[in-house]
Amino acid sequence: MGHEAGDIILQQVVLRLQKIAHIKEYIFRMGGDEFIIIYNNLQKINDAEALAKEINSILKPPFFYKNNNFYIGASIGISFYPKDGIDLQTLMKNSDTAMYEAKRSETNTYKVFSSEMNEKAISTLQMGNALRVAVENNEFVLHYQPIINITSLEAIGCEALIRWRHDNKIIYPGEFVKIAKDIGIMVTIDNWVLFNSCKQCKAWHEKGLKNLYVSVNVSFNQLKQPNFTKMVSKILNNLNLSPVYLNLEITEDEAMVDVNLIIEILKQLKAIGIKISLDDFGTGYSSLSYVNKLSIDTLKIDRSLIQNLAYSSKDLEILKSIIYMAHNLNVGVIIEGVETKEQLEILKSLDCQLIQGYLFSKPLEVNAFEEFIKHGIHYT
């Protein structure tokens, strides 16, 4: 809405904060949208928490600018003298650390500083620095989880999943992906995964696994790179890998960031023969209307929809409906997270042929994956 709108909203925020009479003379604006309250009359943590709640309460009603309503929340960090610092600079640094912890947890909340937060912040900084050189140092590895046709009991493809081998241990994506996004290197890592997954798929073809395809997760930021389709095409051409052996998976949430842009990019990818899957279906918008718009080849049903399949008639009916509609739209279905024979038998009865899950195999390193294929598909 422009700088003027921001200035007016900031003025309105100040007027509201000044309504909390006992802190009126202790409020300062640090810059941007950050304020600090330096207050000497809080006797205990409960008093500070009560003040934080009062601030969020007074900011809750909408703000107004040119006949528009705006809802402004606050993330609040709290530090105490002398426990958290004996000088203003240290107290400000620690309340800032607590504030960012509040921003990470949920909107309109507060956090009280603790030494553990500082340790976490330092650990995050160190991990970020290590991640910056991880690609150059060849520290990332890929594991592959088989995608099984339960009718023929054969692996028709696999999903590539990244791991980070660092300090003699394997670090899983949940521990580093958010940090990689925050420091702006996730797209570089995503592109590394794409290239190396295709390279491995070609190597398997040369070993005789001719019909195996590889499925690779892509993000919105990766897809919106200039000339992304040309980059993918170049990778496939250089490796002499047919596009039909590459499947790109995008989650519902990522696809909804900019639907029109994603529709256009996916059309370009489909035009060169690449397959597209909508991942984690059932956790987000779950609108089948987007399946046609996004030119999806396959729906990947999230494990949350099958966890209670044997006990929940509602989940069973929902899954039946999704499979029925997907088949009518000529869209394939893969069920993720299959862990029990009971789930498998129900899925068979629903005419669902493709699954992933620990019932057959966890994600495997390259050699273990090849051994899995060589010894045939079985489950216990």
pLDDT tens by residue, 136-160? 898 999 999 999 999 989 999 999 9
Torsion sign (Cα): 239, 139, 216, 268:
negative
Q: Quick one: pLDDT at residue 380?
A: 61
Rg, the chain, Cα only: 26
Q: Quick one: pLDDT at residue 103?
A: 87
pLDDT digit string (tens) for 97-106?
999 889 887 7
Task: Please say if the pLDDT value at position 277 is more than 80.
Answer: yes
Give the residue with greater pLDDT, 176 vs 295: 176
Q: Quick one: pLDDT at residue 284?
A: 59
214: domain CATH number is 3.20.20.450
CA separation for the pair 319, 350 (Å, rounded): 9
CA separation for the pair 30, 48 (Å, rounded): 20
CA separation for the pair 73, 110 (Å, rounded): 11
CA separation for the pair 111, 279 (Å, rounded): 34
Mean pLDDT score of the chain: 90
Q: What is the model's pTM?
A: 0.77
**Domain span at residue 46?**
3-113
Which of 125-129, 196-200, 297-301: highest mean pLDDT?
Answer: 196-200
Contact between 103 and 148 (Cβ < 8 Å): no
Q: How far apart are the first and last CA of the chain?
A: 60
Structural domain includes residue 326: yes
Task: Please say if the pLDDT value at position 260 is more than 80.
Answer: yes
93 φ/ψ angles, rounded to the nearest 5 degrees: -60, -45
Cross-strand bridge partners of residue 157:
147, 213
Cross-strand bridge partners of residue 216:
248
**Looking at the 3D structure of the chain, how many domains does it have?**
2
216 and 299 share one domain: yes
User: Which two structure tokens, joined as six digits, stand for 43?
Assistant: 């006797």
Task: Please say if the pLDDT value at position 201 is more than 90.
Answer: yes
pLDDT digit string (tens) for 342-372?
999 999 999 889 999 999 999 999 999 999 9
CA separation for the pair 80, 146 (Å, rounded): 53
Task: Please say if the pLDDT value at position 285 is more than 70.
Answer: no
Last residue of a domain, one of 113, 128, 151: 113
227 and 335 share one domain: yes
